Structure 1
Amino acid sequence: MAKTTASQPNKNRHLNRFYYPLDQAVEKPFNWRQMLRLLTYVKPYSRKLVPGAIIAMFISTLIRMAVPVIIGKVAIDVAIKHEDFNFLTYLVIGISILYLLSYLANTFRIKWVNILGQNVIYDLRKNLFSHVQHLSHNFFDKRSAGSILVRILNDVNSLQELFTNGIINLLMDVVMLLGIVVILFVLSPPLALAVMIILPLMFYISTKLRRNIRRSWQEVRIQKSRLNSHLNESMQGIRITQSFSQERENTEFFDGVNTDNYESERQATKKSAYFGPFVEMSNAIGTVILISYGAHLLILGEANGGIEIGTFVSFAFFLGMFWEPISRLGQIYNQLLVAMASSERIFEFLDEQPNVEEKADAKEVHDMQGHIEFDNVQFSYNEDRVALHEISLEMKPGQTVALVGHTGSGKSTIANLISRFYDPTAGVVRIDGMDIKDLKIDSLRSNISVVLQDTFIFSGTIMENIRFGRPEATDEEVHEAAKVVGADEFIKRLADGYQTEVEERGNILSAGERQLLSFARALLANPRILILDEATASIDTETEVKIQDALKKLLHGRTAIMIAHRLSTIREADNIIVLEHGKILEQGNHKELMEKRGEYFDLVKSQFQMLNAL
């Protein structure tokens, strides 16, 4: 009751907050083409592991089917009937040897299919992660980090059981089922028909359940995605939650999301569980038929169209074995449904193509000078939101250009287009006279460094973080870059200096220290174009004064684009471009714009008045 009650105040809110149009359960037939695509991940191991596993499976299956025949038709109807105990002893020894051989075959089969499954899961997760790494920013704009994590972790994990056991067990159970049916009809066609009379009804009911079960597992994947999204958001925003004393509200919100996840799991498991009891009921009916009709055939005797006691015993063995693979096939079918729900979501990501595509004949960038031109560039994030209106501007090599304007004026959009995180809706962006669409993306971005306001520090050492953009850099080069930007001083005060382990997102460092590390990282990469997006916003005034000289060294000889609200940081810029609603209002250096007494003058004046008021 507590679970339901707690979630009621947030019921509509949590459904809307984590609702993604791209994450919906849909009715689809079983996709065999998708299944075959999934099996292509087995192909690299088909020569080494698959043949051995199949041979081992056939050996163990044939032994399992041979033993009941030996016991019934040979041991009972021959050895025991004729009281040939020496022959019976040999049969017992032979059956023991067969069981030992079956044990060895099963051991190797389990070993090989587990190795196969682990390798397939490794490759699938590697391919998915690598593919996502190269998708455009537009892809990440539409999805939460949590929903992406669910697909790379949970959805791939859900395929593990299918690859380690499901596929080979499916083959084994089909072979066993067909083999048993053939043997039963050879032993006694009338009795075989009698015990299988329940099969048409069972297949009819299982077909009816199929679509419902598959949709339920799709819903489970979606709810897990929403749960993971909320967990990811909650952990990253824990400081804000605690600052506003919203722990209780956040817990209630989580309870609502968790309840939906719980309900989806419960419903899917319940529907999947229907198959097991039905198979048990079918087995019970088959056993009743065997006993009643089999007893009748026993009384008739083999001479009158009946059966011998050995045949009856073999039938009893095979009947128990008959429902076993059917029951497992139901479980494997459930695995297939889960796999289909997960693989649909995995292949959706793998089929996603970058909005920013690289041409087949794209060129490498050599000796970039950093001459940037925007020629009537227009850009829209979506149809309702035009971010840039036919912008034309020029940034000369080695020039420092500042972009200023109110929030949403298009400053960061210009920076994103230069790095080719997005492509213009219209117009051309050129670097050194070349359309950046004609350049290789990696080659272009290797000549550009970006320093953001909310800089990201990775788990690892200080040294590894500075070296991130240029992994081959020497320790001496890392130290020199840190000294130039003024980071060396605080790094040496840390317990382990450059080898200090920083936590996720660099939480052991202050905002200013993280920003200084990002400056060192950018400098070490030695870019021809440097983009500073509110890069000094998190640095206090005293620290800002310290790094002004460092910035001059950092910017020297490079084309630099500075985006700043704090106008004191851009006074020395060669060109200041004032933007408003995606249009250029005015441009020039600080002195020229102040003399114009236009929009820039008003921005400086209002900021100066604000500082005086403080």
Structure 2
Amino acid sequence: MTDRWNIEKHLLQKNRIPQNIEEKIEENIIIYALFDLNEELKYEKRWIVLTESNVQIFKDEDSELIFKESYQSISKVKNERFTSFETLKILAADDLPPVATIFYTGKQRMMMGQIHWYLSEKVEKENSILDLKIDLENEICPHKFYQQNTLAPLREVQAESAGKGQSTLLRLLSYLKPYKSYVALGAVSAVIATAMSLIPPYLSGQLIDDLIRPFQAGTLTAELALKKAWPLVIMLGATYLIREFFIWVRLNRMSLMGEYIAQDLRRDLYNHLQEMDMDFFSKKQTGSLISRVSSDTDRIWDFIAFGIVEVAIATITLTALCITLISLDWKLGLVMTLPVPILLWSIYTHGQKMKDLFTKCWRKWSDLTGILSDTIPGMIVVKAFSQQEQEKIKFSKANKIALEQFEQVHHAWTRFWPALMTTIHTITMVTWVLAVPRLFGASDALSAGTFVSFLLYMTMFSGPIEVIGQMARMMNRAISSAHRIFEVLDTKSKIHHKKDAQKLEEIKGDIEFQNVSFSYDGLRPILKGMNFKIQAGEMIGLVGSSGGGKSTITKLISRFYDVSKGEILIDGTPLKELDIVDYRKKVGMVLQEPYLFHGTIWENIAYGMPEVNLKDVVEAAKVANAHDFIMALPNGYETVIGERGHNLSGGERQRISIARAILHDPKILILDEATSAVDTETERKIQDALDRLTQGRTVIAIAHRLSTLRQADRIFVVNKGEIVESGKHKNLLEIEDGHYYKLHKMQKDMNENFAL
């Protein structure tokens, strides 16, 4: 598989464990990693290898085995993070020093994190009577897994690393195709405007040589000179008018075209984001995505509207000037034109350096935007913990880092540009030095008119080079932004949509998990070989400790993620075979923290159903016990609520969310801690609304308050990715040493303590 990232090139480390180390290991290698510090915190590469029964450590330089220990003799694995490095300590007993301490830099954090987890699981398995079912052996290639996880941080930030500029530029230019007429009109206008700008210097030279000098020499009368001069003056005025008209046409067409292309990029980017899976959003900063849709497309508009045509005009003008100067006087013309390729090459090489600097700038800019997108929605938390000053410091620090990065850009640019212009002025002075003797009668005389024309063309000469230099800077900015956009557009969703996917006209609500396993990162199993079947119309409660896999089950049912192993059936049909958009319309969710959009209450309840009438919205609100409080608001259903509904109470937001679910009339309903964050009175109102909502539907309810699941047909107790108990509330309480009984007793004791 082709990968733009290479471990040896970009991380300066080997892309797999050395062969001579691998040959020394007698058992199958399950997982391995490189760590890069020794006990003295000096750089030294070593390898930690986990096999079927032990952990081993080798030196990279001479493949010497320096540590080997079986899992049975290890009691605990402990990770500690310091300012510039981390440690992984392997303990034989809590009251004894570590038998091994591994030191590593942040570059190895991802892979060492996997080592830490896997080693902890193996140790727990060896020291426990429970079967933790670590079934990843023989399912992953250790070499491939090492490469994927070592490169993962680079892939996460690949938007901030410029790709091949030429391919990115060509792809960006492909967006010009729908606007060929704009390009053609802009190009023609640019050529005409350029041609018009070349006429005045020539006419000026003609005016001097053919009229002014003969008149001063007495060979031409004033009357005849004026008669011939006025047409030339009129032609000069006409060329200026024609030039400005076509400049206006070019600017008008190209600026509009730039806006259309920026609009197309924003549309494609936003549409693509809507198709991405939840795993993508969990790994991307909101601020980074926002900056790509807004700031990056704006920079591209700037380049498309002015950069492309300006470079074309400058190239045409420069070529025409070179030809004209050589045709006027080939000696002086060569002095001006021969250095041009060197000047253009210096602009190109400087542009390559600038592209790298701009790439770093956009990375810092994304960090700054990320702070804003994190802080502003969570302003209530900031104020509640009086963290305004700390947030100011945090933002100021990121702002300063961004400023320092942009200062590097400006320092590099301002150093290069004066040097370039000084070179051009030097060439001009050399031309003067060679021309002056010829003007005063030396051999190979030069007429005043020709030199005036030459001078006027020389004054135009620096303009195109200046434009090319400025546009190179603009182009590098645009290519960096375009690459960030295309990086998102090229990211494929892990949820694959089949073209021939089935659409079930009516979903009953049968759900079956067949040997389902799932892992978010490819190594740590969240669900392990899970099997269960839910009948249509049945209410299932999911309980258990945090991190056990309850929410993951609901996410898999909603197909926010695809299973790693096994299959989920909906009414006997594999979930992967169903049309995902059609299926999700038949699945409703009420979350612990409901998300409301900025808009009216009516719009939030009717979200996804724009053609629904007010009567149905009101009826859904009444069922959700929301109608009364809505009507008490100043504008009723037309009341505009703030972003995420922050000007409503938690219970009010929850009831609006329930009304939204009722209006959609889903056949499968997921309740994720729907009453956990409200007071008792509000909980009663929400529970009453939920009781109405759940009638006639398949319901999967996650709850920590076990009292809310008394009416469930069955309760699944989920622990470490497995269903360890299932049954009715009453039956589960009869198992006195069971998980559910312990959870129930714990909550009962807690409630009694609070009551006291």
The residue number in structure 1 matching 2:167 is 33
- 1:207 positional shift: 4.2
The residue number in structure 2 matching 1:65 is 198
The residue number in structure 2 matching 1:172 is 313
Alignment of 1:108-147 (within 5 A): 108-147=249-288
Distance change >3 Å, CA 403–CA 607, structure 1 → 2 = same
- 1:292 positional shift: 1.4
Q: Is the 8 A contact 1:279 1:326 kept in 2?
A: no
Distance change >3 Å, CA 240–CA 12, structure 1 → 2 = farther
CA distance in 1, matches of 2:445, 2:669: 92
- Which of 229, 239, 246 aligns to 1:88? It is 229
Q: Is the 8 A contact 1:275 1:330 kept in 2?
A: no
- Which of 296, 299, 305 aligns to 1:155? It is 296
CA distance in 2, matches of 1:512, 1:86: 91
Larger displacement relative to structure 2 (236-245 or 368-377): 236-245
- 1:240 positional shift: 2.4
Distance change >3 Å, CA 576–CA 30, structure 1 → 2 = closer
Q: Is the 8 A contact 2:161 2:359 kept in 1?
A: no
Deviations 1:343-376 (A, max 9, x none): 1111000000100011121111211111100000
Alignment of 1:476-495 (within 5 A): 476-495=615-634
SS in 2 for 1:67: helix
The residue number in structure 2 matching 1:56 is 189
Deviations 1:416-472 (A, max 9, x none): 001110000000011011111111110111111111111111000000000003222
CA distance in 1, matches of 2:458, 2:601: 67
CA distance in 1, matches of 2:269, 2:401: 27
The residue number in structure 1 matching 2:522 is 383
* Aligned-partner residue type, residue 514 of structure 1: R
- 1:20 positional shift: 6.4
CA distance in 1, matches of 2:162, 2:378: 38
Q: Is 1:202 paired with 2:356?
A: no
- Which of 513, 526, 531 aligns to 1:392? It is 531
Q: Is the 8 A contact 1:26 1:215 kept in 2?
A: no
The residue number in structure 2 matching 1:603 is 743
CA distance in 2, matches of 1:123, 1:93: 45
- 1:593 positional shift: 1.1
Q: Is the 8 A contact 2:163 2:483 kept in 1?
A: no
Distance change >3 Å, CA 154–CA 59, structure 1 → 2 = same
The residue number in structure 2 matching 1:331 is 470
- 1:198 positional shift: 4.1
Which structure shows the higher helix fraction? 1
* Aligned-partner residue type, residue 351 of structure 2: R
Q: How many residues align structurally?
A: 598
SS in 2 for 1:82: helix
- 1:280 positional shift: 2.1
Q: Is 1:510 paired with 2:649?
A: yes
Q: Is the 8 A contact 2:160 2:363 kept in 1?
A: no
- 1:27 positional shift: 7.3
Larger displacement relative to structure 2 (187-196 or 486-495): 187-196
* Aligned-partner residue type, residue 559 of structure 1: T
Q: Is 1:227 paired with 2:361?
A: no
The residue number in structure 2 matching 1:7 is none
- Which of 533, 537, 543 aligns to 2:676? It is 537
The residue number in structure 2 matching 1:77 is 209
* Aligned-partner residue type, residue 52 of structure 1: L
SS in 1 for 2:517: strand
- TM-score of the pair, normalised by structure 2: 0.77
CA distance in 2, matches of 1:201, 1:27: 28
- 1:29 positional shift: 7.5
Q: Is the 8 A contact 2:286 2:370 kept in 1?
A: yes
- 1:89 positional shift: 0.9
Aligned residues: percent identity? 36
SS in 1 for 2:718: strand
The residue number in structure 2 matching 1:3 is none
CA distance in 1, matches of 2:753, 2:177: 71
Deviations 1:133-188 (A, max 9, x none): 11011101111111111111111111121011111111111110111011111111
SS in 1 for 2:711: coil
- 1:511 positional shift: 0.7
Q: Is the 8 A contact 1:286 1:319 kept in 2?
A: no
Alignment of 1:530-569 (within 5 A): 530-569=669-708
The residue number in structure 2 matching 1:193 is 334
Q: Is the 8 A contact 2:347 2:472 kept in 1?
A: no
CA distance in 1, matches of 2:545, 2:410: 53
Q: Is the 8 A contact 1:457 1:514 kept in 2?
A: yes
Deviations 1:190-221 (A, max 9, x none): 00112345445534543442332111000010
The residue number in structure 1 matching 2:402 is 261
The residue number in structure 2 matching 1:23 is 157
- 1:567 positional shift: 1.1
The residue number in structure 1 matching 2:453 is 314
CA distance in 2, matches of 1:363, 1:450: 22
SS in 1 for 2:504: coil
CA distance in 1, matches of 2:633, 2:695: 30
Q: Is 1:496 paired with 2:635?
A: yes
* Aligned-partner residue type, residue 554 of structure 2: A
CA distance in 1, matches of 2:159, 2:563: 34
* Aligned-partner residue type, residue 236 of structure 1: P
CA distance in 1, matches of 2:160, 2:643: 37
The residue number in structure 1 matching 2:114 is none
> Can you give the 5+ residue segments of structure 2 that lack an aligned partner in the other structure?
1-82, 86-105, 110-151, 216-224
Q: Is the 8 A contact 2:675 2:686 kept in 1?
A: no
Q: Is 1:293 paired with 2:426?
A: no
The residue number in structure 2 matching 1:97 is 238
Q: Is the 8 A contact 1:491 1:498 kept in 2?
A: yes
* Aligned-partner residue type, residue 518 of structure 2: F
Q: Is 1:444 paired with 2:583?
A: yes
Q: Is the 8 A contact 2:361 2:405 kept in 1?
A: yes
Deviations 1:573-609 (A, max 9, x none): 1111000010001111111211223211111111111
CA distance in 2, matches of 1:471, 1:585: 44
- TM-score of the pair, normalised by structure 1: 0.94
The residue number in structure 2 matching 1:613 is 753
The residue number in structure 2 matching 1:353 is 492
Q: Is the 8 A contact 2:259 2:301 kept in 1?
A: yes
SS in 2 for 1:382: coil
Distance change >3 Å, CA 29–CA 517, structure 1 → 2 = closer
CA distance in 2, matches of 1:553, 1:180: 82
CA distance in 2, matches of 1:570, 1:28: 53
- Which of 353, 363, 374 aligns to 2:513? It is 374
* Aligned-partner residue type, residue 36 of structure 1: L
- Which of 276, 280, 289 aligns to 2:421? It is 280
CA distance in 1, matches of 2:535, 2:741: 24
SS in 1 for 2:520: strand
Distance change >3 Å, CA 339–CA 27, structure 1 → 2 = same
The residue number in structure 1 matching 2:540 is 401
Q: Is the 8 A contact 2:498 2:577 kept in 1?
A: yes
Larger displacement relative to structure 2 (246-255 or 152-161): 246-255
CA distance in 1, matches of 2:748, 2:162: 62
The residue number in structure 2 matching 1:214 is 355
Q: Is the 8 A contact 2:714 2:726 kept in 1?
A: yes
CA distance in 2, matches of 1:405, 1:469: 33
* Aligned-partner residue type, residue 566 of structure 2: G
Aligned-residue Cα RMSD (Å) equals: 2.0
Deviations 1:86-131 (A, max 9, x none): 1111100111011111111111111111110111101111110110
Distance change >3 Å, CA 360–CA 67, structure 1 → 2 = same
Determine which structure has greater relative contact order: mean sequence separation of CA pairs < 8 Å that are 6+ residues apart, divided by chain length: 1
CA distance in 2, matches of 1:454, 1:271: 49
CA distance in 2, matches of 1:29, 1:591: 62
